[in-house]
Amino acid sequence: MSTPTVTGASLSELKSAYDRDGSCPLPYRFDDASVELLRERVARISAQRRPEVVHEKDSDVVRAIHGCHEFDDVCASLVRHPLLVELAETLIGGPVYVYQFKVNLKQAREGAAWPWHQDFAFWSEEDAMPRPDAVNFAIPLDDVHEENGPLVVVPGSHTMGLFDLPATSQDGTSDWRRHVSNDLAYTVDPARAQRLIEQNGRRTILGEAGSLHAFHPSIVHSSSNNRSADRRALLLITYNAVANAPAAPTRPAFLVGRDTTPLTARHDDRLGLLPAADPA
C-alpha cells in the first residue's frame, strides 16, 4: 500500500494549529488490519514478564508496556512510518529520534486515571531534556469515548511554562515507577488545572481506533479512570529533536531512548495509513 503524502499547505496548517493549541488531530488513520496487528503485538508483550511491562497498583492488571519499538518488529516499523516521521520532523523542525514509546492499556473498569500533569516536567527534571522540542503522537488501539478514560488537554497551556514543580528534589520523585503510575511524581494542582480550564477551555480527545493526534510535551493533560466495559489502549510515540537529546539520562532505556541517531523512514506493507474520513 502506498503512503499518502502531506501537501505543503496542509502541513503548515497542522503546524499552526499545533503551535497555537498544543494539540491537534492529524488527518490520517491506520487501517483496521494495522490496528489488529498492533493489538496482537500488545497482547503478546503484555503477557510477558519483563521490566517494560508495568501493572496497576497491587494488581496483576497490566497498566502499560514500554519501549516496544526496541524489541518488536511491528512497533519498530511503526515509529519509522514515513508519514509519522515527516509529521514529527515538521512539528518539531528538524531530524528526530524516538525518546519514548508506550501503550497505556487502561483496562475495562480497572484502568486507573492519570492525574493532571505535564510530560516535560518529568523529562526536564529527571532526564535534563533541555527544551520541550518533542512531540507526542497518540494512536488509540480501541475506540475512545467519554466513559473509557479519554485524554483531556487544556489548549494553549503548553505556552505557560511548567507548573507546581517541587521546590527541591523530594523523596521518591526519582523512582521511575512514580513516572508511570497513578501516583505521579510531578502533577499540576487540580485547582490550578480548573482555573486553566476556566480560562482556556478543555478538549477531550475522542476518536476511533487507529486515529492520530499530536500533543505537546508541556500541555496540561489528564485522563480519568476507565468506568466502562471497554478497554482504552492508547499507543504513544514521543519523538524528540536530535539536537534536544539529554546528555546523560539515567532512567531505564525503555523510558528514555538512548539511540539518538536521526530516524530513517521505512515503509512496511503491514502498516497502512489512510487519509481520515473526517479530520475534525
Cell numbers linked to 222: 489528564
Residue 203 interacts with which of ligand SIN, Mn ion, none, CB < 5 to 8 Å by class? none
- Evaluate whether 92 touches 19 at the Cβ level (below 8 Å): no
Instruction: Tell me if 103 contacts ligand SIN by CB under 6 A.
Output: no
Interface positions, 21-40, toward ligand SIN (CB under 6 A)? none
Cell numbers linked to 107: 483496562
Instruction: Tell me if 119 contacts Mn ion by CB under 5 A.
Output: yes
Q: Which is nearer to Mn ion, 56 or 119 (CB)?
A: 119
Residue 126 interacts with which of Mn ion, ligand SIN, none, CB < 5 to 8 Å by class? none
- CB of 7 vs ligand SIN, minimal distance in Å: 29
- CB of 149 vs ligand SIN, minimal distance in Å: 6
Kindly tell me which residue out of 104, 124, 218, 226 binds ligand SIN, with binding defined by CB under 6 A.
Answer: 104
Q: Which is nearer to ligand SIN, 6 or 256 (CB)?
A: 256
Q: Which is nearer to Mn ion, 11 or 113 (CB)?
A: 113
- Identify which range of 62-70, 114-122, 160-168, 190-198 contacts Mn ion by CB under 5 A: 114-122
C-alpha distance from residue 108 to each of 111, 148, 161, 233, 236 (Å): 6, 7, 34, 10, 19
Residue 104 interacts with which of Mn ion, ligand SIN, none, CB < 5 to 8 Å by class? ligand SIN
- CB of 222 vs ligand SIN, minimal distance in Å: 7
For 42-65, b/e burial (b = at least 16 CB within 10 A) is: beebbeeeeebbbebeeeebbbbb
Kindly tell me which residue out of 77, 107, 173, 223 binds ligand SIN, with binding defined by CB under 6 A.
Answer: 223
Kindly tell me which residue out of 98, 234, 235, 237 binds ligand SIN, with binding defined by CB under 6 A.
Answer: 234
Residue 87 interacts with which of ligand SIN, Mn ion, none, CB < 5 to 8 Å by class? none
Give the interface size with ligand SIN as a residue count (CB under 6 A): 8
Name the residue type at position 219: I
Strand order across the 96-104 sheet = 53-55, 62-66, 96-104, 234-241, 134-140, 211-215, 23-30, 273-275
Name the residue type at position 247: A
- Give me the long-range contacts of 246-253 (CB less than 8 A, separation at least 24): 246/123, 246/127, 246/128, 246/129, 246/130, 247/128, 248/128, 249/127, 249/128, 250/127, 251/126, 251/127, 251/176, 251/179, 252/51, 252/176, 253/67, 253/70
Sites of contact with Mn ion (CB under 5 A): 119
Per CB under 6 A, residues contacting ligand SIN are 104, 114, 119, 151, 221, 223, 234, 236
